[in-house]
Amino acid sequence: MEIKRCSWVEGKEDIYLEYHDNQWATPVYDDKLLYEMLVLESFQAGLSWITILKKRENFKEAFDNFDVDKIISYDEEKIDELLQNEGIIRHKGKINAAIKNARIFKQIQDEYGSFSSYIWSFTDNEILIDTQENYQTQSDLSVQISKDLKKRGMSFVGPTIIYSYLESIGIINNHEHGCFRYK
């Protein structure tokens, strides 16, 4: 029997299917994965998600497996190394944002006990299910979180990036009604 998936992933490469089937819109509470997805979503701005998926392992290696404590201490030498790394997106603004955002991520962890507690507090730990299938790119929630993160000093966290982030970490479940992952 053929598995029915969201229409946007049908006919895509295996790496895309794997992401859709096993990660996208699955609730994430682990801070390391929450930071990883925030970095990947910010690097995706202006690019296709498949580009990021194909480079994901390279990003993990280049960014010390998304260890926030290591990333907050990156210096100019490390930034230059990242700018020379052909396995990742070599965008100085996004690299600098990943480092600055790691520092703020750590501050949020200290304030809330975990980044997970912070991000899930916006929905009182509830998963939001979009039943409209309208493929929106932002919402009141993503605008609210984006404003809060920007107020704290984060970059590359606009409402569209945050909306995609909320989908990727399972706060928003946008699987289509006919998809086997829709709940």
Per-residue H/E/C for 81-101? HHHHCCCCCCCHHHHHHHHHH
Catalytic site includes residue 8: no
Find out whether 36 and 60 touch, Cβ atoms under 8 Å. yes
Q: What is the pLDDT of residues 103-136, one digit of tens each?
A: 999 999 999 999 999 999 999 999 998 755 567 7
Q: What number of CA atoms fall less than 13 Å from residue 36's CA on the CB side?
A: 24
Catalytic residue of the set 16, 19, 118, 163 = 19
Catalytic site includes residue 120: no
pLDDT band at 32 (very low <50, low <70, confident <90, very high): very high
Range 38-52 average pLDDT = 95
N- to C-terminal Cα distance for the chain? Answer: 20
Find out whether 80 and 106 touch, Cβ atoms under 8 Å. no
- Per-residue b or e along 5-38, where b marks 16 or more CB atoms closer than 10 Å to that residue's CB: bbeebeebeeebeebbeeebbeebeebeebbbbb
pLDDT band at 1 (very low <50, low <70, confident <90, very high): confident
Give Cα 9 distance to the centre of its chain: 18
Cβ-in-10-Å burial (0-12, 13-18, 19+) of 106 comes to middle
Task: Please tell me the pTM assigned to this model.
Answer: 0.95
Both structure tokens of 15? 């790496």
At 133 the pLDDT is 56
**Mean pLDDT: which of 8-17, 33-42, 132-141 is highest?**
33-42
Catalytic residue of the set 41, 74, 118, 165 = 41
Catalytic site includes residue 49: yes
The pLDDT of residue 64 is above 80: yes
Q: What is the pLDDT of residues 16-28, one digit of tens each?
A: 999 999 999 999 9
Q: What is the mean pLDDT of the chain?
A: 95
At 132 the pLDDT is 57
The pLDDT of residue 6 is above 60: yes
pLDDT band at 183 (very low <50, low <70, confident <90, very high): confident
Higher pLDDT, 183 or 57: 57
Catalytic residue of the set 29, 49, 112, 182 = 49
Bridge partner residues of 173 (DSSP): 129
